[in-house]
Amino acid sequence: MKKFCSFCFIFITAVASADVAVIVNPSNASALTDKDIQRIFLGKAKSFPDGGNAAPVNIVTADPLREEFDDKVLGRSSSQVTAYWSKLVFTGKGVPPSEVNDASAVIAEVTSKPNAIGYVDVAAVTDAVKVVATF
């Protein structure tokens, strides 16, 4: 019974997990598909579909939202994303997105830089940023 309950608990936590909102600067008029977002955060695309240079912002792996984003948007575990980037970094083919500590730092970055793109918990979204997708 105990085992069953802990199983319930895991299940409930999974359901209650945060929705991720991908955010850009309000001045950014790009329409972004899920694939565009994926490509920008994996360094496969260096600019927005409308041509502007893209500056993705990540949250540190210590924040559970990072695992959430990696899983839902990039379709891999955070370890796999690190492995992916280690291939590019050590071959001079790419530099991973800059990392900040928490949602407020992401919002600050996206608010101040017209070409920044980041993600936060939907509950943390403010008027200063524009949501382009939720996962």
Partner 1 sequence: MKNLYLATGLAMALVQPASAEVRINGFANLVGGITSSDDSLYGFSDEIDFSEQSLFALQVSSNVSDKLTATAQLLARGNEDFDVEFEWAYLSYQVNDKVAITAGRVRTPLFRYSASLDVGYSQHWISAPNGMYNVPANNLDGIRIDYSTFQGDWEIYLQGAYGTFSNPVFGGDFEGKNTFVLTAEATYDWFKVRGVYGVAKSTLSGIAEAEAALQAISTASQPLAEYLRLDDDTSTFSGVGIDIDHFTWFIGSEYTLIDIEDSFFSEQTAFYVTAGIRRGKWTPAVTYETFDSNNDIKGLSFLTPFPAPVQQALLPAVAGVQVVNMSEYDILSASVRYDLEANIALKAELTKRNDDLDSQGDATLLRFAVNYVF
CA pair distance 79, 58, nearest whole angstrom: 14
- 47 interacts with partner 1 by CB under 8 A: yes
Write down the least CB distance from residue 118 to partner 1, Å.
19
- 33 interacts with partner 1 by CB under 8 A: no
- 126 interacts with partner 1 by CB under 8 A: no
- The answer to whether 95 touches 89, Cβ cutoff 8 Å, is yes
Owner of token pair 């210590």:
62
- The answer to whether 132 touches 22, Cβ cutoff 8 Å, is yes
- 93 interacts with partner 1 by CB under 8 A: yes
CA pair distance 29, 49, nearest whole angstrom: 10
- 76 interacts with partner 1 by CB under 8 A: yes
- 35 interacts with partner 1 by CB under 8 A: yes
Longest dimension (CA), the chain: 57
- The window from 2-10, 15-23, 42-50, 107-115 that contacts partner 1 (CB under 8 A) reads 42-50
CA pair distance 108, 6, nearest whole angstrom: 38
Q: How many CB atoms lie within 10 A of CB 45?
A: 16
Write down the least CB distance from residue 49 to partner 1, Å.
11
- 6 interacts with partner 1 by CB under 8 A: no
- 4 interacts with partner 1 by CB under 8 A: no
Q: Which residues bind partner 1 (CB under 8 A)?
A: 35, 39, 44-47, 61, 75-80, 82-84, 86-87, 89-93, 95
